[in-house]
Structure 1
């Protein structure tokens, strides 16, 4: 069994497939994540993200192919693999009846950390996420942002090599989201931690080392934000029609139009004259119009034909993890 040395990928996935009845959730998926990098896995709902993460977290088994965590086969050695992983699920999994300290202490006991290591690590993690003054507070009294920070601290208690974050900032205000990403960057830089994140806030992953877009169970593209924007990005018109009739007319006129958030329509700019043509035909029927330069959002639209926030993430079952 590999010892997870510096040259070993943090994650290695080779030709992994997974089927649920007639649905092929993962179709010959292969990818590699370097140690110490921040890796964003993006895809519409039902694209296969959760199925892949469940396999990497040893919650489910692939039907074919293999997956390794720091050189450890997740099927053959699941317990060893889990010790290298920290997980922050989309759904809250804290025990709200316990205190901040008790939640972290219990997690350390589950991972068989001795008392001295638990105390040391609790102090370190609470300092990192700025919750030291709240160590004795009952979790149900904390704000949603503080609870999310506590969940990140808990996921890091046992000093994992890889941290999985499933929608880590969903439902948080802009300031809380920015704080969480600041903590994560500190961790990655200081501890060579590999971070795997899924999110519907596509602007949050613009500073990630690698972006991987998955749809219909297949990897569509992998690369740095800059290379993906250069290869697949386009300018977008972000328009808000005044009336349902204007909405319908725009969709008919621009067949590739994608429904965005809050009644907006996202229209790809085909050439330099596209803006003039749009305004000449629809200017008086638009409540608002703006132009977005090539971005990860336009990359996602070009490759999937959908908006990442087209539908809010569904609250599903809470996946367990020891």
Structure 2
């Protein structure tokens, strides 16, 4: 599929300090791209460049051949910022209508469909400032979607939301993405959200340090874990006691990326095992393997 969005060798320097170093990123129509990285590594600066809020020191960004920062570019994108840009003293409906009418391609029918999908009917006449966090975030997303754009940026869209609201929002976004072939670029601290993605970029120290499909990254940087709870009278119990002189731990964990290997282990140790659990590799494993366990 043809790429509709491309960033080529974008670099950003502040006072001769290079914050972002020659990043390349692309997105195809209808893809969900996850852009992951620890705090303070250039992720937010990159997103600010991709959305046209700041200009790169070097490099080029374009969407369907249109250069960033043009009026055409702004009409083709929507952005859900970490912090809301809506007026707290206006009602939900006033906020949404004010923003929607800024765009020539506004459709009343699509607007009403978004209101229904995000269940905003009962809060349209309420002032935005008195809404709960989950209600505000749903309004923020509708505000970003009203003009049926090609590309939606979601910058930490689920921060502070309960899991029910988060799941609801993603159900709707994925429905719209597949129906309208909307392209989404996501940054998030909730790494499980990246499980929805078609392609993942991992940034650290201003550079892309890994990129691939999520499944391929899991093969490279994560592993499944077979967790065994052993019987008190197991042979392995006695072997561990004798070889290490340490108190016996009933639970042991074995790393494996092969379900066949896990089954073989379970069959060979059947008489020793009280219970077991298979934990599959996750995005968290990839993230930690690539960026380390240290707090930034």
The answer to whether TM tops 0.5 is: yes
Aligned to 2:101: 109
Q: Which moved more, 1:59-68 or 1:137-146?
A: 137-146
Offset at 1:213?
0.4
TM-score of the pair, normalised by structure 1 = 0.72
Q: Deviations over 1:9-68 (max 9, x none)?
A: 231111111111242111111121111000100001122221111112111111111111
2:41 to 35, 44, 47: 47
Q: Which of the pair has more CA radius of gyration? A: 2
**Could you report, residue by residue, the CA deviation over 1:162-188 in whole angstroms, capped at 9, with x for unpaired residues?**
000011110011111111111111110
Q: Distance in 2 between matches of 1:269 and 1:74?
A: 49
Counterpart position of 1:301? 288
Equivalent residue for 2:27? 33
Structure 2 matches for 1:5-154, cutoff 5 A?
8-74=2-68, 78-112=70-104, 117=106, 119-154=108-143
Looking at structure 1, the residues matched to 95 and 67 of structure 2 have their Cα atoms a distance apart, in angstroms, of 30
Q: Is the 8 A contact 1:234 1:299 kept in 2?
A: no
**TM norm structure 2:** 0.78
SS at match of 1:19: strand
User: Residue 269 and residue 26 in structure 1: after superposition, are their counterparts in 2 closer, same or farther (change >3 A)?
Assistant: farther
User: How far does the alpha carbon of each residue in 1:136-166 deviate from its partner, in whole angstroms, 9 at most, with x for none?
Assistant: 2222232211110110000011111100001
Instruction: Please tell me the root mean square deviation across aligned C-alpha atoms, in Å.
Output: 2.5
Distance 2:204 2:5 in 1: 20
Answer yes or no: is the 8 Å Cα contact 1:87–1:155 preserved in 2.
yes
Runs of 4+ aligned residues of structure 1 deviating over 2 Å after TM superposition are 109-113, 117-122, 234-237, 268-272, 290-294
String of CA shifts for 1:72-112, please: whole Å, max 9, x gaps: 1215xx22111100000001222121111101111022335
Aligned to 1:181: 170
The match for 2:216 among 222, 227, 235 is 227
8 Å contact 1:9–1:71 — kept in the other structure?
Answer: no
* Alignment partner, residue 171 of structure 1: 160
Alignment match, 1:254:
none
Q: Which moved further from structure 2: 224-233 or 17-26?
A: 17-26
- SS of aligned partner of 1:169: coil
Count of residue pairs brought into register by the alignment: 252
Q: CA deviation at 1:133?
A: 2.7
Residues 32 and 197, structure 2, Cα contact 8 Å, conserved in 1: yes
Which residue of structure 2 aligns with residue 211 of structure 1? 200
2:191 corresponds to: 202
1:207 is displaced (CA, Å) by 2.0
CA distance in 1, matches of 2:59, 2:161: 37
Deviates more, 1:81-90 or 1:12-21: 12-21
Of 291-300 and 226-235, more deviation after overlay is shown by: 291-300
CA deviation after TM superposition for structure 1 residue 131, in Å: 0.8
Unaligned segments of structure 2, at least 5 residues: 227-252, 258-276
Q: Structure 2 CA distance, aligned partners of 1:236 and 1:218?
A: 30
Q: Does the CA-based 8 Å contact 2:225-2:256 persist in structure 1?
A: no
1:268-320 deviation line (CA, Å, top 9, x unaligned):
98789xxxxxxxxxxxxxxxxx995422111111111137xx46xxxxxxxxx
Does the residue aligned with 1:125 lie in a helix, a strand or coil?
helix
